[in-house]
Amino acid sequence: MTTNHNLYDVLSQRFPANGNQPFIVHPTGGQLSYSQMEHCSAQLANYLCGLGLSTGDRVAVQVKKSSEALMVYLACLRAGFIYLPLNTGYTEAELKYFFSDANPSLVIADPAEQSYCQPLAQQQSALFETLDAMGGGSLFERSASSSPYFDNVISGADDLAAILYTSGTTGRPKGAMLSHGNLAANALMLHDYWGWNQDDVLLHALPIFHVHGLFVACHCVLAAGASMIFMPSFNVEDVITQLPKATVMMGVPTFYTRLLATGDFSAGQCSAMRLFISGSAPLLATTHQAFEQRTGHRILERYGMSETSMLISNPLQGERRAGTVGLPLPGITVRLVDADNQAVAIGDVGSIQVKGPNIFQGYWKMPEKTAQEFTEDGFFITGDQGVISADGYISIVGRTKDMVISGGYNVYPKEVELVIDAIEGVKESAVFGVADADFGEAVAVAIVADRALDSVAVITSAKEKLAAYKVPRHVYFLTELPRNNMGKVQKNSLREMFSGVTSR
Ligand code: MLC
Ligand code: AMP
């Protein structure tokens, strides 16, 4: 018999015997059971197949978070379409690039964005459907009469399930291709490693267009046949209200600093919780300690990427060490190497390279770029730098890639610099990160201009082209950028120059 590696099929073997078990619990009341989820995703899969989509076609989705949006993802898995989630903040200019690069067969967008999304979809000869945060729009209206039964397609382990775009050092975003086998390997391993069970209730307040909120969070719940409270976004008061009903929460460090900044947040609200997980950006050791003091819980920090899903994690049992991301996860080989790919000594800084069944299939339509990111012996070069302790705990201490992480979102300076440089009067610019109490890092730009420029006008202009989280929050004007004798802009000098300096 052929083994079906289809991720939905793999996960569905573990769904609860009782189909009435809630899969999604809405914070404002109401729920979606496992049976309802199976029927709804089947209806959508049938409808999408009826549109003429074939296995391997891309379905690009830029919609607000909702249980319906998650059903679209599951339907794509079931039917073998490649799911392409897009940040709801992306502007028209950004979407244009993604659509032309990924060449989707279907675009699904919020009705509020139809006026510009539909023409962009048409330019690529893609079909177009709408979906809003309440489940309204053409997609659910039209699929309502489709059959609620669907035979999941047979997928190979290497068949693509999703493409996640991550920006790059050239300013041109790259689509990381993840297969059914990649995602299943990580989901089942995390399920076991973090001790998931059917009684777990995840407080889900992350966006569902990234590896963290879509794959790590939802796959763990599905693999356990557990439930999740599906919040539209992270709002600290709403999270505090829902926390007593949850057993697990996943978040970026900003979630934890915002909870701690709230006087109302206390151990009492965490009485049912068994696990707080943090990732996507560095969790300060001071946040880890303050959280333990306030709640009695030691946050479990883990480390991963879009290209790889989760790689390293603090243990469920055993010491969760503040300031570290823990130990390599089961089945994943992690090595820290120097410039000659030789293992570094304990305590020395090394480039982090990884291998395992979760590592992606390459960048969409970029074979040369893909080849550059792997070593000759098949390790993926993460672009992060770490230090390993004598007992194997790894700390992330830097990055070889030029990147800023703001509130868990990655911003690639080159992409922002290209937009700023195109503003009239700007001679050149350099984008870098500065410490920020809320977002961990905030995007800043140093500009050399040939005339007097107004920082507000620079920000307004950048907002037309870039998602809001990429737009610099600090603008500094300089007569020249600091460079080394090779002519390379010294971003470390900029970070030092402007740490704690108010921008103009
Ligand atoms: C929102 N804004 C941000 C921002 N989030 N600006 C910079 N950085 C961010 N992260 C902008 C908004 O567009 C808006 O801009 C203004 O800031 C409003 O701020 P806010 O109301 O405070 O934002 P909020 O909606 O509360 O969002 C903050 C947040 C959110 C931290 C809750 O960013 C978030 O959910 N982050 C999670 C990101 C995530 O899931 N990362 C995982 C990547 S996967 P304006 O101009 O309109 O005022 C990955 C791999 C791995 O990294 O290991 O997991
Ligand atoms: P992304 O490309 O959006 O998937 O982001 C992946 C990057 O986020 C990694 O390469 C790291 O730089 C960073 N990251 C993820 N988790 C952590 C963590 N726990 N600590 C520090 N950086 C992290």
Residue 362 CA to ligand 1 centre (angstroms)? 27
Q: Give the containing element (helix H, strand E) for 240.
A: helix 236-242
Same domain for 161 and 79, yes or no, is yes
Same domain for 492 and 411, yes or no, is yes
Determine which residue's CA is closest to atom 48 belonging to ligand 1: 468
Determine which residue's CA is closest to atom 46 belonging to ligand 1: 468
Here the tokens at position 379 are 């390790």
Same domain for 409 and 391, yes or no, is no
Same domain for 371 and 408, yes or no, is no
DSSP character string of 36-54: HHHHHHHHHHHHHHHTT--
- 265: in domain: no
- DSSP classification of residue 392: S
Please name which of 354, 412, 376 lies closest in space to residue 167, comparing C-alpha atoms. Answer: 412
pLDDT band at 269 (very low <50, low <70, confident <90, very high): very high
CA atoms within 13 A on the CB side of 174: 21
Per-residue pLDDT tens digits for 389-416: 999 999 999 999 999 999 999 999 999 9
Residue 279 CA to ligand 2 centre (angstroms)? 7
Please enumerate in sequence order all residues whose Cβ is within 8 A of that of 423, keeping only pairs 6 or more positions apart, or say none.
453, 458, 461, 462
Among 119, 150, 184, which residue terminates a domain? 184
Same domain for 99 and 49, yes or no, is yes
pLDDT band at 103 (very low <50, low <70, confident <90, very high): very high
Mean pLDDT of 370-392: 97
Q: Give the containing element (helix H, strand E) for 55.
A: none
As for how many domains the chain has, the answer is 3
231 by DSSP, 3-state: which?
coil
Average pLDDT over all residues of the chain: 96
Same domain for 461 and 386, yes or no, is no
56: domain CATH number is 3.40.50.12780
Here the tokens at position 424 are 């009239």
499 lines ligand 1 (CB under 6 A): no
Give the chain's largest Cα–Cα span.
71
Same domain for 360 and 439, yes or no, is no
Please enumerate in sequence order all residues whose Cβ is within 8 A of that of 63, keeping only pairs 6 or more positions apart, or say none.
69, 72, 88, 108, 109, 110, 131, 132, 133
Distance CA 120, CA 109 (A): 11
The percent of residues above 90 in pLDDT, for the chain, comes to: 96
79 lines ligand 1 (CB under 6 A): no
Per-residue pLDDT tens digits for 40-56: 999 999 999 999 999 99
Report the C-alpha dihedral over residues 457, 459, 464, 470, rounded to 10 degrees: 170
- 232: in domain: no
Per-residue pLDDT tens digits for 293-302: 999 999 999 9
Among 164, 184, 204, which residue terminates a domain? 184
234 lines ligand 1 (CB under 6 A): yes
Same domain for 146 and 291, yes or no, is no
Same domain for 378 and 410, yes or no, is no
- Tell which one of 64, 252, 325 to mutate to probe ligand 1, the residue whose CB is within 8 A of the most ligand atoms: 252
Mean pLDDT of 433-444: 96
pLDDT band at 284 (very low <50, low <70, confident <90, very high): very high
413 lines ligand 1 (CB under 6 A): no
pLDDT band at 501 (very low <50, low <70, confident <90, very high): low
Mean pLDDT of 161-174: 88
Q: Which domain holds residue 328?
A: 276-399
Same domain for 361 and 391, yes or no, is yes
Q: From residue 76, give the alpha-carbon distance in Å to each of 161, 203, 254, 364, 475.
A: 8, 24, 31, 18, 42
Distance CA 335, CA 332 (A): 10
Residue 304 CA to ligand 2 centre (angstroms)? 6
Residue 359 CA to ligand 1 centre (angstroms)? 26
> Which is it for strands 58-62 and 106-109: parallel, antiparallel or unpaired?
parallel
Per-residue pLDDT tens digits for 459-477: 999 999 999 999 999 999 9
210 lines ligand 1 (CB under 6 A): yes
Residue 406 CA to ligand 1 centre (angstroms)? 7
Residue 262 CA to ligand 2 centre (angstroms)? 26
Please name which of 473, 425, 432, 431 lies closest in space to residue 450, comparing C-alpha atoms. Answer: 425
- 448: in domain: yes
Mean pLDDT of 275-286: 98
Determine which residue's CA is closest to atom 33 belonging to ligand 1: 407
Same domain for 342 and 409, yes or no, is no
Same domain for 48 and 173, yes or no, is yes
Determine which residue's CA is closest to atom 29 belonging to ligand 1: 407
What is the value of pTM for the model shown? 0.97
Among 184, 200, 234, which residue terminates a domain? 184
Ligand nearest to the CA of 251: 1
